[in-house]
Amino acid sequence: MSTYKGQGGDVVCHQWDFCGGWHFLGPPSWHWNFSYGVWDKAESVIRQGLREYENLARISNHPAFVFPHYDGNLTNTEANAQFVEQYQRTMAFQMTKEFKLVYSRSLDIADYYRRHFSVTPRTVFVSKTDSDKIMYVMQYHNLWAGRHELLARERIPWLTRISTILNLRLAHYGAKDPMSYEYIVFEDQKRSIRFERESPNPIWWFDYTKQEQELTPEGSTIKWVATPDVDIACPPEVNADGVGRPPCLPKWVRQGNQLVIKMKMLTKAEFPDYGIALWGLPEDFTRNPDPDRIKTNAKEFIIAKNTDGEYHLLLFFDLKPDLPIDVSLLLP
């Protein structure tokens, strides 16, 4: 697909990685190793991965195309052969009954893109793990596999400066592993962005509009963008603590039949089409999360949802110093 300006192109498939989320579908040899041959452990990870792809299709309004990566029986033992056969039977027969799952050739996927889209379709993907699975799913991460360092924690503090994340990434040779137990990937023809809970600012940003590529022996790559530091806090008029203290953290406040949050972008930077994430929308709204009941001065908003039923809100606007951003949720 074309990546910008609405023009059709020759690229008909995009792939983030062999594992787009926390819960990978394959290869079977990795599940064999990480589960120590216990199929039930592997199956729970595979099933959660499929739930997340199912959720992607629902909130993105287009199919999720998944590359599970298959390598078969590599240890030549009877126990491994039985494990791989269980993987084959589960993926081929059981999962295709539980989910709207079909197997297809890459050519068929390319044809689907050409028939239905003139540009890369908008995709919203939410992946979330927990403390029970983290020691399993971290195994394929670069820093754990190479250095036995696990950077991910349950949440990233709201006021984390993005410059500290970028410095950490540079120190670890461009590490792209998740840094929290839940993240959102938003992608369209203009950009690919990753948000990590509970930080409102984007952790990764790839700009597809500039088409600047770095040539390497393996081919060409698109460089990630160093996004600016932005402290997102309450406007001064909302801060009841008075002068001389840092602005308070934004919170949802009930005003009549609405829930309102007021924010101020404390930054020295300007950045077109900047995006932030508001994690965990209030339950009073999410019982009936109608987009028509969301009002904001941001240019655009997008609702995301995880498989636990929690809703998040992405906001896009042209960033500039001291920019106020407000959101109102009309309650039923």
Please write the tens of the pLDDT for every residue from 248-278.
Answer: 789 999 999 999 999 999 999 999 999 999 9
157 shares a domain with 55: yes
207 shares a domain with 187: yes
Give the pLDDT band (50/70/90) at residue 178: confident
pTM over 0.85: yes
Beta-carbon count within 10 A of 110 CB: 14
The CATH number of whichever domain residue 269 belongs to comes to 2.60.40
The last residue of one of the domains, among 168, 200, 222, is 222
Q: How far is CA 141 from CA 18, 73, 125, 131, 236, in A?
A: 12, 22, 19, 16, 42
Q: How far is residue 203's CA from residue 177's CA, in Å, rounded to a whole number?
A: 11
| Any domain includes 209 | yes
116 shares a domain with 253: no
Rg of the chain's alpha carbons, rounded to an integer? 21
| Any domain includes 14 | no
pLDDT tens profile 266-312: 999 999 999 999 999 999 999 999 999 999 999 999 999 999 999 99
Taking a C-beta distance cutoff of 8 angstroms, is the pair 264, 234 a contact?
Answer: yes
145 shares a domain with 239: no
DSSP assignment of 208-257: SSS--EEEETTEEEEPBP-PPP-EEE--GGG-TT-TTSPPPPP--EEETT
Q: How far is residue 197's CA from residue 155's CA, in Å, rounded to a whole number?
A: 5
Q: How far is residue 197's CA from residue 128's CA, in Å, rounded to a whole number?
A: 10
204 shares a domain with 71: yes
The last residue of one of the domains, among 222, 249, 264, is 222
Taking a C-beta distance cutoff of 8 angstroms, is the pair 278, 315 a contact?
Answer: yes
Q: What is the pLDDT of residue 254?
A: 94
- Which residue carries 């020691």 as its tokens? 135
Residue 280 lies in domain: 231-330
140 shares a domain with 59: yes
The last residue of one of the domains, among 222, 250, 273, is 222
110 shares a domain with 136: yes
155 shares a domain with 210: yes
pLDDT tens profile 194-222: 999 999 999 999 888 775 566 667 666 67
| Any domain includes 181 | yes
pLDDT tens profile 25-43: 989 999 999 999 999 999 9
| pLDDT at 13 exceeding the cut of 80 | no
The terminus-to-terminus CA distance of the chain in angstroms comes to: 40
| Any domain includes 65 | yes
| Any domain includes 275 | yes
Q: What is the pLDDT of residue 181?
A: 95
Q: What is the pLDDT of residue 206?
A: 87
Q: Number of structural domains, the chain? A: 2
| pLDDT at 326 exceeding the cut of 60 | yes
